[in-house]
Amino acid sequence: MERREAVIELEGVKKRFGALQALDGVTFTVERGDIFGYLGANGAGKTTTIRILLDLLRADSGRVSVVGDPTDQVETRRRIGFMLDADGLYDQLTAVENLRFYGKLYGCSPSAEELAALLESVRLSDRAKDRAGTYSKGMRRRLALARALVHDPEVLILDEPMSGIDPTGQIEIRAIIQNLVHERGKTILLSSHDLDEIERLCNRIALIDQGEIRVTGDLKKLLGAGGEGRVTIATSAPVVPAILAEIRDRFGVETGGAGSTTLDLRLPAGVRNADIVSFLSAHGVGVEGVAAKHTSLEELYAAILKEREA
């Protein structure tokens, strides 16, 4: 499978706060052109990861880079735009004034035409001269997204971009995000606990739970999980016989393909692809694809958490 350029890379990242191990060896890669979903429950480690990517925190160990460079360099940070839960807008300033202010912080002075185009891209042209304090929650999120784009970054990090927005506002922001990637060539890491939004928007994901990445990969391939029947699972390395034996004993699954990177499985009633994927992931086996009946991201998520609790 052809890999694209790695834009965000984390390898073995650890971070502890006192007795809490917030991140424990976090490893994943965001490739150019991705809308990469970073999902997990509240407290799973998403916000800590984002703060490290933005150089607001330093990892205790591990490697972090954006567009090939460490995140503690000023030039690297200028290639990143971000939108956090707190929108950072000044209520007494108009949309244009907010954008000019943040442009100066990034060392750029966008022209009136450039600001008009930016506000047009987030569908706020008609409110350009209104104070941000008069905006609805959905409009504030769109203005915050424009603020993240004011210096034309290559990479966007969006933390819960749909938080508190009504369905109409969600549709608008979803369309804007897709346009940023498909028309403007941006790469986006989108952190959320909203599984429906992740499934709608993202092409690749990483799922973090209790500071550890439980599964990562191409979303469509991971969601080739479903009910009983035959399933083929492609792995990054041959699965050792001991793990195959445990799959047979634990799940009652008929297995074939020992010693290769393609497992042919027949699942009995009540066993889902998601159960097998999460089991392999928990045992250090990389899953690159699943060909079977479609499942939902919610089912995959639930199966992985069930495996952890077992």
Helical segments of 9-77, H only: 46-53, 74-77
Could you write out the DSSP letters of every residue in 93-148? Answer: SBHHHHHHHHHHHTT----HHHHHHHHHHTT-GGGTTSBGGGS-HHHHHHHHHHHH
- pLDDT tens for each residue of 105-114: 999 999 999 9
Contact 259, 245 (CB under 8 A): no
**Same domain flag for 115 and 242:** no
**Same domain flag for 228 and 210:** no
Residue 78 structural domain:
6-214
Q: Residue 209 — φ and ψ, nearest 5°?
A: -145, 125
**What pLDDT is attached to residue 253?**
82
Beta strands in 221-281 (DSSP E): 229-235, 254-256, 262-267
For residue 181, which of 147, 144, 156 has the smallest C-alpha distance? 156
Place of tokens 């998403």: 46
Could you write out the DSSP letters of every residue in 160-192? Answer: STTTT--HHHHHHHHHHHHHHHHTT--EEEEEE
**What pLDDT is attached to residue 2?**
59
Within a domain: 304: yes
At position 227, the amino acid (one-letter code) is: G
**Same domain flag for 53 and 168:** yes
Can you give the C-alpha Rg of the chain in angstroms?
Answer: 21
Within a domain: 172: yes
Within a domain: 1: no
**Same domain flag for 188 and 64:** yes
**Same domain flag for 77 and 189:** yes
Burial class (CB in 10 A: 0-12, 13-18, 19+), 184: exposed
**Same domain flag for 113 and 31:** yes
Between CA 227 and CA 63 the distance in angstroms is: 39
Between CA 263 and CA 257 the distance in angstroms is: 5
Last residue of a domain, one of 197, 214, 231: 214
**Same domain flag for 207 and 242:** no
**Same domain flag for 245 and 197:** no
CATH number at residue 244: 3.30.70
Structure tokens at 236: 């990054």
Contact 83, 159 (CB under 8 A): yes
**Residue ranges for the chain with pLDDT beneath 50:** 1, 225-228
Contact 37, 198 (CB under 8 A): yes
**Same domain flag for 78 and 182:** yes
Within a domain: 236: yes
Contact 247, 276 (CB under 8 A): yes
**Same domain flag for 150 and 298:** no
Within a domain: 209: yes
CATH number at residue 194: 3.40.50.300
Last residue of a domain, one of 214, 243, 267: 214
Within a domain: 238: yes
**Same domain flag for 280 and 191:** no
Within a domain: 37: yes
**What pLDDT is attached to residue 228?**
44
Place of tokens 């925190």: 57
Angle at 24 between CA 28 and CA 54, to 5 degrees: 60
Beta bridge partners of 264: 232, 256
- What 3-state class would DSSP assign to 199? helix
Between CA 269 and CA 275 the distance in angstroms is: 12
**Same domain flag for 22 and 130:** yes
**What pLDDT is attached to residue 258?**
65
Last residue of a domain, one of 171, 194, 214: 214
Q: Give the chain's domain count.
A: 2
Find the farthest-apart pair of alpha carbons in the chain and give their distance in angstroms, rounded.
Answer: 67
Within a domain: 292: yes
Taking the model in full, what pTM does it have? 0.77
